Each structure stands twice: as structure tokens, then as C-alpha cells.
Structure 1
Amino acid sequence: MTPLAWFATGSLAVWVWLLLGQGFFWRTDQRLPPTPRRLPASARRDGDGSREVEGPERWPRVAVVVPARDEADVLPLSLPSLLGQDYPGPAEVVLVDDGSTDGTGRLAAELAGRHGGLPLTVVSPGEPEPGWTGKLWALRHGMALARAREPAPEFLLLTDADISHGPDSLRLLVSAAVAHELDLVSQMARLRVVSTWERLVVPAFVYFFAQLYPFRWINRARPLATAAAGGCVLLRTGTAVAAAVPDSIRRAVIDDVSLARAVRRSGGRIWLGLADHVDSVRPYPGLGELWRMVSRSAYAQLRNNPLLLAGTVAGLVVVYLVPPVALLAGATSGDPAAAWAGGAAWAVMTGTYVPMLRYYRQPLLLAPLLPFTAFLYLLMTVDSAVQHYRGRGAAWKGRTYTANHVSPSGE
């Protein structure tokens, strides 16, 4: 066989393994686990009356903590959904205004006065101390304020300011945590997919995340991976204390994975899955916004390690770029082995992407374009490393975090 045929055959072997051996990462069936028993006294029905949503006999107290920095554009779309939660137990919302310059805190108070619902407290802790990322500094103050209440909440819902929740979101999260004795329940919010670039890049973002952290592996009784999605995390207050979060992960740029690992180290049980009624309302209309979103933390995910960067680039080339190149080059140069292996690998790749496109309600014709999207992610990752070495890595809303802040492992 030619060298190209060997590469294509190797890529096909990798895709067969990814299809069957990587925790079925490509499936989208990891949703909130149902409550296993019926409790008529506390049962609720969906708005259409089609099914019952069950819950515990006593609904625990919950504090919703929302870190927010310059979020005036998205807050009208997200905060009312939290204030309007249909939760049978006691709950409150604490919005932490992290040095906003666009009136985020004032707007939050106005929205609470206009919409009513759960009680809202707005606090401003000031600039982060050295060694803290802005989001974790805000979470620290919001969580401390909530825990100072009498009685203290049993659960904390940590959710980003750009996340909109369905009216039963909090109820379903708490039901799952109580029924299955989970310490951390996290849902990957459905990101906005409207513009052409969002359609091309966003579903692949979640697909690649699930490939790196297969949800089934995370949710096993004996887990093989650990991660969370920072936009929506329900955390037991006692577990937060035992894991010393957020203090123990204060330097982490990839705070959601670091949080999950801290909880796991403390002996906590974790669940992660896709959301049905938890949506991000933040727009990424152009490639530039999406590029910055990915490149901001891509190199941090590789621990700022040039060897890991080189391995990642090589892996992306072999796994995602070789199949279409082998198919086209083999077909035009008379190399049937390369063409067959490349086409088969591309077909498997395309098939594994279809469920994610269906989840995002996108045309399945986008599935064969995954190699092109992977190439974009390769460039974004390289750019992330370049920005890191230029001292501009991990930049977010006017703050840039140095290598000393980056700790994906939470250590």
C-alpha cells in the first residue's frame, strides 16, 4: 500500500475505535435521569399535562448564584427565566456584579422589580484578588452570601448570566440530585445556533467536548472521566464545603472541569448530560466571535504544553483531515486502497456527527463538513497557543490571565 493508504487505514481504525470504544460519545441520550419512584403528594405535571415530573417529599432550599460581568445585553433574556422558576421549595437568586461597566447590577434590580418571582439580591465584590479568575471570585462571594443565610441552602445552582432556564429547570435538577443521591448535576446548555457560522461551528464544539469527556463515562458508578458544564451546575452546599470550592480552584481558567474534579476528589458523585430546556442566549454571529470563544481557553485545555499541542494537531490531521484528502487524492491518482479507507473513515465520522446535528435541529447536510470545521478548530487551537506566548492568552471582557492562573486540573 502507498503511504497515503496507510494513513487512511490508520484513520479508519481510529474511527472504528471512536465509534465503539469511546463511551458512545456521539449519542445524545444522556439527559437528566428520571425520578425512579412516584410521590403523588409532590408530583407536578408539564404544561401540556402529558407527563408527571416527580420530586422529593420535602423540597430543599436552593440559592441560585449568577456571576455577571457586562451582561446587560443578555440579562433581559436570561434573568427573568430564573426569577420565574416553578420551584415548590424555598429559593432565591444572588447575582454577583463582577465589576460591570454597562449597568448590569442596576438592570438586574430593575428586571426583578418588573417581573417579580424569586427574591433577588445583587452584590458587587470588587476586583478579584491576585490569583483569582473573575468568575470564580464572583462565585466565591455569591456562594458565601448564600451560605450565610439562616437556614443555609442545601443546594447551590451555579449558572451563567447568558443562560435561560425553562420554568421547571430547577425543579428537575433538584429532583434528579435528590432521587439519585448526586452531589453535582450539570447540564450542557443548548448553545445558540442561528447564523451560518454558528451552524457550522457550535454543534461541533459540543461534539468535540463529548468526545474528550464522554458523558457515559462521567455518569458511570465507577467513572472513567470527570467534567461539568459551567453554564448550569447544581451543587450540594455540603459538597462545596468538603471540596473547598471555589477556593481550591481559584486559579482555574477552565473552571467547570476543575470544579468537577475537585468534587470528585472529595468523594462526590457527578452527573453530566445535554439539556432540553436550558439554553444559552449569547450570540456568536460571526466567525471572529466564535474564534475568540474557542481560542480563549483551547491552549489552557492542553495545560499550555507544547508537546500536547503538537500531539493534538497531529491527531486532528490524522483523524479528521486525512479521510477526505485520501478519498479525493486516491480517486484522482488511482489509489483504490487510499480512496476506500478514506471514504469509509469519512462515512463513519459523518455518521457519528448526525445525532448532534439532530439535537441542534440542523440540516444533516452539514455532517460531511465536519473535517472543515475540525480544521478551523485546529487553527483556533494553534492561535490560542500563539496568543498565550504573546501574553494575551485566556482573555475575557478586559481581563487577561497569565499561565499562573491556568490550572485545568484544579491544582
Structure 2
Amino acid sequence: MTVLMWVALASLLAWLWLTFLQGGFWRTDLRLPPRPETARRPTVAIIVPARDEAEVLPLSLPSLLAQEYPGQARVILVDDNSSDGTGELARELGLAPGSLPLTVSTPGEPPEGWTGKLWALRHGVELAGDAEYLLLTDADIAHARSSLDSLVAAAVGTPERCYDLVSQMARLRTETRWERLIVPAFVYFFAQLYPFRWSNRPGSRTAAAAGGCTLVRREALERAGGIAAIRGAVIDDVNLARAVKRGGGRTWLGLADQVDSVRPYPELSQLWRMVSRSAYAQLKHSVLLLVGTVLGLALVYLVPPVLLLVGLVAGDGRLAGTAGAAWALMAATYVPMLRYYRQPPAAALLLPFTAGLYLLMTVDSAVQHWRGRGAAWKGRTYPAPPTPSKVGSPR
């Protein structure tokens, strides 16, 4: 066989593995477990870290204040040193009749070694008192009125099936053409890296959560070392799930029907920053992992359409058929995510182009890190965490 044929075959084998042996990552039917009729309703504190969120807060905070929850619940908004009046606006929104109790507090600038969001979450956890469960949710996330009740009921569950951490991947906006192109692929790639079913399996090494909506039992969080255990993590949601799981907790992650992001990303540049600010951190700031990821993305996503075209032009039916089969599997696994986002199935044919953009975003993430601008977000830049050799031997 020719070199191109071997490359096409490698791509096809990769897609056969991903389709049938990667935890069914492409399936979108994983939703909150059924609500037990007798589930108790423990006390809950809803913690919202917010930095310069005045634009989206009127669309999200009222949905939290209006939660219909049979037990005791309160909302704690931690204003992470905003400059746009986020805290004042939150206090005004909290005056709406029938709202849950609202506390607005500012923790001050984060100390060295902490990200701003996690410093804010730590402050919120301290203010939560003895609440049994903590709902950690971002300032751009809107919840249906029964969202909290459904999350708690799923977590409390039954003696045979209960969870220490329940997380939902919020449905992101897909109103502009760039959002429609980039957003479904973002969730698809995340699920490919962290198959939800593997993450939900007790004892599995895979662990993941979605930071926009994570309900965690206080006792499990404390057993995992608290927020301080992940204080420098840029990808805080995955690291939180890992910490809870390492502490013996059970975790659950699925797609949301009642939780939506209201943050707009109308331009490609905004979506680019969303991905690139954490992509290199996802690769543990490793050049070897970066090279492997670039080659892997090229083999899996770019090779099929390119070699299909080459085979058709050269009249090589075997090459075209092998590459075409790989592309068909790629498209077929992407269709469920497109349907979840109410996009036409034909858009699956654009996934190689979208993957090419993600490849460039990943490389740009590394370049920005090398230039000292890695993990930049709202005026802050976070360096890579120190290696063990820099912090001394473990004790």
C-alpha cells in the first residue's frame, strides 16, 4: 500500500476506536437521573463568582433568585473586584419580590497561587455556613425554576444511588453563525476527552464536571481538601471532579435541559479567546502533548476530507473509500450533538473545518503562554503551576 493509504487507514482505525470504544462519547441522551418521590431537600447555598458581569447578570441572577425549592436555599454572589458595578446591580436585582435571600460580598484580590474565580468560590463557601450542599454556578448561567430542586433530588437520590457531585453541561448560545459553528464542537470535543459515562462510573480514572453548574456536597468538598486543593487550576471544573473522586466521592455529569448560558459570543475572536485561554493548560503546558495533539487532530479530522479528495482526483478508489469511511464516521458521531443544539445534520460535514480552527486555537494558546499572556481572562493572567522541582519535594 502507498503511504497515503496507510495514513487513511490509520485515520479510519482511529474513528472506529472513537466510535465504538471511547465510552459512547458522542451520545447525548445522558440527563439527570429520575427524581425519587421521597427525596429529602437539604439546605443549599448557591454560590456565584462574578467579575465584570453587569451585562449578563440581569439575564441570569433573577433565575437563581426565583428558584422553586421546597427546602432552605440562599444565593451568595461573590463580586470578584468588578469595575462595572456588578455588586451594586446584584443588590438591586435581589430586591425583587419573592426572591431567595441574597448576600453580596467582595473577597479582595486573590493571593499568589490562586485564580480569581477559585478565590471567590472559597470566599463563598466560607459564607455558606453549614449548608449541606453548594451549587457552584457561573454568572452567565440561567436556570429554569425547578433546576435546583432537580439537581438536589438527583444528588440525594436513594441509598443505592446518590452522588457527592452532580454537574450539568449548560447549553451554550448558538444564535450567530460563529456560535453555531464553534459551540456544538466545543461540547463534542470535551465529551471526547472526558466521556461522560466513564466519568460517572465509580472507580474510573476519568473525572469531569462542567463549571457552569456543579452541585457538590459540602462534606465531600471538605474531604477533597476544599477549594484550596485546586486553587491554581485554570480548568477548575475537571480538577474539582478529580479531587472529589479521589476523596472517595461519586460524581455525575450530563447534558442540561434546564440550564443555559446567556453569554453572547457573536465574533470568532471572542470564541477564540474562550478556547485558547485554557487549551494549553489542558495539555499541562507540555510541548510534547502539544505536538501530539496537533498531529492527532490532523490525523483524525483533517486527513479524511483531504485524502478523499486526493483519491477522487487520482482515481484511487481504495484511498477515497477508506478516507470517505473515516469522514462518514466522524459526521455520524457529530450529528447527535448538532441535534441537541437544534442545528441541521448536514452541518456535520463542516466538522473538519471547525477542528482545523480548534487546532489553530490550541497552538495559539501555547504561543500566548510562551509570550507571558497565557490563561488571560478579564484583566488577569495566570502562569503555569510550578513543577515539583520548583516547589520542593513532597512531604
What TM bracket, shorter-length normalisation?
over 0.9
Deviation at 1:5, TM superposition (A): 1.3
Deviation at 1:10, TM superposition (A): 0.9
SS state at 1:222 partner: coil
Matched, 1:199 2:180: yes
Matched, 1:133 2:115: yes
Alignment partners' CA distance in 2, 1:204 and 1:16: 19
- Cross-structure match for 1:210: 191
Deviation at 1:115, TM superposition (A): 4.9
Letter in 2 for 1:146: A
Structure 1 residues 3-402: aligned runs within 5 Å? 3-35=3-35, 37-39=36-38, 56=39, 58-147=40-129, 152-179=130-157, 180-402=161-383
**TM-score (normalised: structure 2):** 0.96
The answer as to whether partners of 1:64 and 1:91 remain within 8 angstroms in 2 is: yes
Alignment partners' CA distance in 1, 2:385 and 2:75: 32
Give a deviation string over 1:104-132, Cα, whole Å, max 9, x none: 00000001113541000000011001110
Alignment partners' CA distance in 1, 2:97 and 2:280: 41
Letter in 2 for 1:5: M
Deviation at 1:222, TM superposition (A): 3.2
Letter in 2 for 1:167: R
Alignment partners' CA distance in 2, 1:199 and 1:372: 13
| Change over 3 Å in CA distance of 1:154–1:405 after alignment to 2 | farther
Letter in 1 for 2:166: V
SS state at 2:327 partner: helix
Deviation at 1:210, TM superposition (A): 0.1
Alignment partners' CA distance in 2, 1:114 and 1:66: 18
Which runs of no fewer than 5 residues in structure 1 stay unpaired? 40-55
Deviation at 1:241, TM superposition (A): 1.1
Alignment root-mean-square deviation, CA:
1.3
Letter in 2 for 1:137: W
The answer as to whether partners of 1:6 and 1:338 remain within 8 angstroms in 2 is: no
Sequence identity percentage? 67
Give a deviation string over 1:81-111, Cα, whole Å, max 9, x none: 0000010000000000000000000000001
Alignment partners' CA distance in 2, 1:17 and 1:246: 36
Give a deviation string over 1:163-222, Cα, whole Å, max 9, x none: 000100000000000013200000000001100000000000000000000001011233
The answer as to whether partners of 1:303 and 1:406 remain within 8 angstroms in 2 is: no
SS state at 2:78 partner: strand
**TM-score (normalised: structure 1):** 0.92
- Cross-structure match for 1:50: none
SS state at 2:75 partner: strand
Deviation at 1:406, TM superposition (A): 9.8
The answer as to whether partners of 1:354 and 1:364 remain within 8 angstroms in 2 is: yes
Letter in 2 for 1:157: L
Which runs of no fewer than 5 residues in structure 2 stay unpaired? 389-393
Deviation at 1:337, TM superposition (A): 1.5
Alignment partners' CA distance in 2, 1:321 and 1:6: 15
Letter in 2 for 1:64: I
Alignment partners' CA distance in 2, 1:374 and 1:13: 18
